[in-house]
Amino acid sequence: MTQALPVDPVPSDAKLPQRAGVVVIGGGIAGSSAALALAESGVPVVLCEKGRIGAEQSSRNWGWCRKMGRDPRELPLMLESLRLWRGMNERVGSETGFRQHGVLYLIGDEKGLAKRQAWLKSAEAFQIDTRLLSGAEAEALAPGGTRRWLAGLHTPSDGSAEPQKAAPAIAAAARKRGAVIMTDCAVRGIETSAGRVSAAVTEKGRVACDAVLLAGGAWSGLFCRSLDIRLPQLKVRASVMRTAPIDGGPGNAASGPGFGMRKRLDGGYTLANSGANYHDIGPDSFRFLFDFIPALRLEHSRLVLGLSQRFFAEWSLAKPWTLDEISPFERVRVLDPPPVESQLAAARATVAGIWPALKDMKVAGSWAGYIDATPDMLPVISPVERLPGLFLATGFSGHGFGIGPGAGRLAADLVMGRPAIVDPAPFRFSRFSDGTKIQPIAGI
């Protein structure tokens, strides 16, 4: 297995404070963005990351920042997130890699065209700049190809950022605004007083606080279970590769049947298979089976199920622990699953067959990460009503990188009790227990 690009390092602060207003658990894109928003508002915040900032899925994704193809329930938050992305380099004072270069979906058949037309109609109320293109117009935006496309869907105001840079740059900016950033510092659990959160207990000590924001990605479900809170969430393994710099080929982010790709700042491509993800069957697969049946029916053609040693690893990690002993979060500092190389080989062959300039691409690295998925493929950005002072920002279902700045801002708004940047109702945790019909919508 080759390796991903190294994530920009963020050194840890030396001393864990004894007191903070808010403790953020998890240094991915959502947790770092929330810490920045809180610090900018003058809230004393400590961000605790069990490993390294941005080292899991926040640095292992495609890097796309798109509203095109989003679940309409997510669109208001994504619009706000893109607004934040456009000013992010200036805001944090360093390079996140964000560029507004447009995103293009290449459409090869009538079935694909019908799906994209249906989405475009569902998004009409948001007045976004997505446009349905003719085949010739689509080909002009992805020059050098030999395949003729039926049509295309294009959003000029979408873009991408560099996953290995973004979360670290945002976390470093939060520190400049007064946040304390602790790496290699797992939060083992929470203490309560008078029925509400009163402290976070870490491997390096206790931090008294008024609120805890759990932005733990694929680890959030296990942390919630330690608090006797049921969070229906599963992990999906997504594989990605990168190439050495290449002259020619599409200059924007584009996807089509069997591939998704974007040109990076270094001149190479990030490439993945848009038609396949992998679910490692684990104990949670059975625990939440009935919650996920609608999503499995919807996504069955794009999801491969497999049973491996991962089942027993997760079974072992799920054993109960006390706050004075080593937790699962210390045993596994960074989730680093192997990529599914067959899926990447198929994507590579597909794009090489379309763009002659990519035939001799040199693979510079490949990797995988775990996507934290919910039954309706919407994130949970919400207070937990049964435990006042606990908030969640998790379950981003493969959409988290692009929506991360907006999600962090929304989570910070909720923690501070101020007017929310968008209506938080679609993301409320209580939807899984209040009788709401959980309805996933197929992504495009």
pLDDT the model gives residue 1: 40
Question: What is this structure's pTM?
Answer: 0.96
| pLDDT, average across residues 62-83 | 97
**Distance in angstroms (rounded) separating the CA atoms of residues 202 and 39:** 21
Beta strands per DSSP E along 148-248: 151-155, 159-160, 180-182, 187-193, 196-202, 205-208, 211-214, 234-243
Domains of the chain: 22-432 (3.50.50.60)
pLDDT tens, 405-441?
999 999 999 999 999 999 999 999 999 999 999 988 8
Tell me the three state secondary structure of residue 69: coil
CA distance from start to end of the chain: 30
**What's the pLDDT band for 314 if we cut at 50, 70, 90?**
confident
pLDDT the model gives residue 442: 67
Q: Compute the Cα dihedral for 327, 330, 333, 338 and give only its sign.
A: negative
Does 182 have pLDDT greater than 80? Answer: yes
Does 49 have pLDDT greater than 60? Answer: yes
Give me the amino acid identity at 87: G
Does 327 have pLDDT greater than 70? Answer: yes
pLDDT tens, 273-283?
998 888 889 89
Range of weakest confidence among 158-162, 181-185, 295-299, 393-397: 295-299
CB-based contacts of 96, cutoff 8 Å, min separation 6: 85, 88, 89, 161, 162, 165, 166, 169, 170
Find the helix packing angle between 400-416 and 29-40, rounded to 10°: 40
